[in-house]
Amino acid sequence: MTRFERQDRPNRNRPAKGRGTDRAASNPRGSGRGTPRRKAAPAQGGEFALPETLTPALPAVDLFDELDMPAALLKTLAAQGVTEPFPIQGATLPNSLAGRDILGRGRTGSGKTLAFGLALLARTAGRRAQPHAPLAMVLVPTRELAQQVTDALTPYATSVNLRVATVVGGMSISRQAGSLRRGAEVLVATPGRLKDLIERGDCRLDEVAITVLDEADQMADMGFMPQVVALLKQVEPDGQRMLFSATLDKNIDRLVKMFLSDPVVHSVDPSAGAVTTMEHHVLHVADETDKKAVATRIAARDGRVIMFVDTKRAADRFAKRLLASGVRAAALHGGRSQPQRNRTLDQFKNGQVTALVATNVAARGIHVDDLDLVVNVDPPTDHKDYLHRGGRTARAGESGSVVTLVLPEEKREMTRLMADAGIAPRTTRVKSSDEELSRITGAREPSGVAIVIEVPQPTQPAPRARGGASGASGAARSGSRGRGRRRTSGTGTGTGGSTAQAAGAPRAGGGTGRGGAAGGTGRGGAARGGGGGFRPPPRFRPPRGAPPPGPGPAGGAAAAARAPGGGGAGRAGAPAPGGPGGRRPGPAPAAAAASGP
């Protein structure tokens, strides 16, 4: 189980250790920008006291055309069908484009990605990053959210000639290091993998002028706070910082006080994230058996649905149960590799999978169009997890429903969770066969025919055709080779590719040398192979006082004219017939006469 999938009960009444206001305010370490003292607004619920802006914020806009952005970005927005900004975009973009620090809160699906993304791209356009040194950075808590941010920003980044690199765990770190080495102006990263690349020397942050923290509260909940603080201390001290999240609680109070200077504070809606287009239902079931039957019927509905469970094992088991019942289901959790998770999400988006059984790994960072139902098979233990699970539906103004299945022993905890979230759900007692269940969720009886989801197999590269024999690795292996001193007559091929017929009687001639010319030559070919004196092998030494060895038989016309007489055949040949220093007696006298003067 990954760290962010742990279902620990929140300590609602106990303050976070080491994050008191006095300690954070007196800490001299931080951005070093001389952050002015700010008045604090009264805290609400579990939130920290939001800072009040000292410098008045610029007014909100109603159209993107009113913003000072490059024409290429405005053209791409129109091409994408985005003409009017969402409230959080219209309120924060005028100030972020002016270089102000931003503290923004908005529910999932409210348009936070473009709220910081457009300003980041507009202010970075026209610059070029050096190898290993990005100019802007977006920190996110999960791989899925990193991929969503990358997909959302890529068309706009391409329009202004900016390169985006994504750095997350579970993928090849060598490829990610290669992307940074080639240069990327915008970096989207999770803290852990980015820390690894910095330690390897593949990335440095001293040129990062714009830093964005997306879903900062979840990074704090996952234990990334020390890494996030260490990364923020490496960026440009006077750069722009923007912090966006669906919930702003006391966990990120330290980040705001250390790194944001007189930020523009904007909140689209309360931290509870109440959405008028979203319906909340709590369905009371009798026992665990009835709960499984109800969840199976809901999964068999006509349409896609995300079903959240507590653990990875529960996700795998429930997905197998649904497949056996005839529901096209797949599991998504932190125990899967990133390619497997990407493939599962693609299958869910294109309709090959209709029921996605997920842990909290999918609670943030997954955007699926036209998803109108989210089911909490296992209720969350924290109201923030409930809000982010439900945020997968009713996105960008669409409507949707969030259904939670509750056992009798979970009623009290669920009532308290809904109160913390500021939600008044509709409560209904149901059984798997009730018509009310079908009315609320579209549940129906599954087919009962087992289904197997096909997994695409990677294409294997075609085997390379082996060419004809050439060089020393070709036909020369079957014939006699250049340096074989004791080879009998035969035919071989040298490096040059031409064949040679061995000359002389058995054990007198040799195979071809590497030059590949005809007639018992040495390494250099015809001109070099013949005419040379006998060159003794390393283990042979002529006796003292012996006359110098004579020339060998000619390996070619030029060698024959230059070196008449008996001898060896270069480096590759055998001892010459009758030549001094030879190890074997020469051939018949007739053969000797034929080679004499």
Does this model's pTM top 0.85? no
How far apart, in whole angstroms, are the C-alpha atoms of residue 236 and residue 99? Answer: 14
Name the residue among 172, 170, 454 with its Cα closest to residue 337.
Answer: 170
Q: Do 492 and 500 meet the contact criterion of CB atoms below 8 Å apart?
A: yes
Q: Where are the domains of the chain?
A: 28-267, 278-441, 480-537+549-581
Name the residue among 526, 518, 510 with its Cα closest to residue 572.
Answer: 510
How far apart, in whole angstroms, are the C-alpha atoms of residue 43 and residue 250? Answer: 10
Q: How many helices (H) and strands (E) does the chain have?
A: 19, 16
Q: Crossing angle of helices 112-124/87-97, nearest 10°?
A: 20
CA atoms within 13 A on the CB side of 331: 21
For residues 178-210, one letter each, b for 16 or more C-beta atoms within 10 angstroms of the residue's C-beta and e for the rest, the string is: ebbeebbbbbbbbbebbbbbbeeebbbbebbbb
Distances (CA, A) of 228 to 89, 139, 202, 208: 25, 8, 18, 14
Distances (CA, A) of 521 to 34, 393, 429, 504, 591: 85, 82, 98, 12, 19
Distances (CA, A) of 565 to 88, 537, 554: 100, 21, 8
How far apart, in whole angstroms, are the C-alpha atoms of residue 508 and residue 230? Answer: 79
Q: Which two tokens stand for residue 356?
A: 């996605």
Estimate the share of the chain in helix, then strand, then coil, as percent rounded to the nearest 5: 35, 15, 55
DSSP characters over 390-403: HTTSS-TT--EEEE
- Give, for all 597 residues of the chain, the pLDDT tens digit: 444 444 443 443 434 434 343 333 334 334 444 434 334 444 444 556 677 778 898 999 999 999 999 999 999 999 988 888 988 899 999 999 999 999 988 766 668 899 999 999 999 999 999 999 999 999 998 888 898 899 999 999 999 999 999 999 888 999 999 999 999 999 999 999 999 999 999 999 999 999 999 888 778 777 788 899 999 999 999 999 999 877 776 667 788 888 999 999 887 654 444 455 678 999 999 999 999 999 999 999 998 999 999 999 999 999 999 999 999 999 988 888 878 888 888 898 888 999 999 988 765 666 777 788 999 999 988 887 887 787 777 565 567 889 999 999 999 999 999 888 888 899 999 998 899 999 999 999 999 999 888 765 554 555 555 544 444 344 334 444 444 444 444 444 444 343 334 333 444 444 444 444 334 444 444 334 444 455 555 555 656 666 665 554 444 444 444 444 444 444 444 444 444 444 444 444 444 433 443
Distances (CA, A) of 327 to 58, 247, 291, 304, 342: 52, 35, 17, 11, 20
Map residue 374 onto helix, strand or coil: strand
CATH topology of domain 28-267: Rossmann fold (3.40.50)
Give, as one character, the DSSP assignment of residue 123.
Answer: H
How far apart, in whole angstroms, are the C-alpha atoms of residue 42 and residue 22? Answer: 17
Same fold, 28-267 and 278-441: yes
Q: Do 153 and 136 meet the contact criterion of CB atoms below 8 Å apart?
A: no
Domain 278-441 of CATH type 3.40.50.300: yes
Of the chain, the end-to-end C-alpha distance in Å amounts to: 93
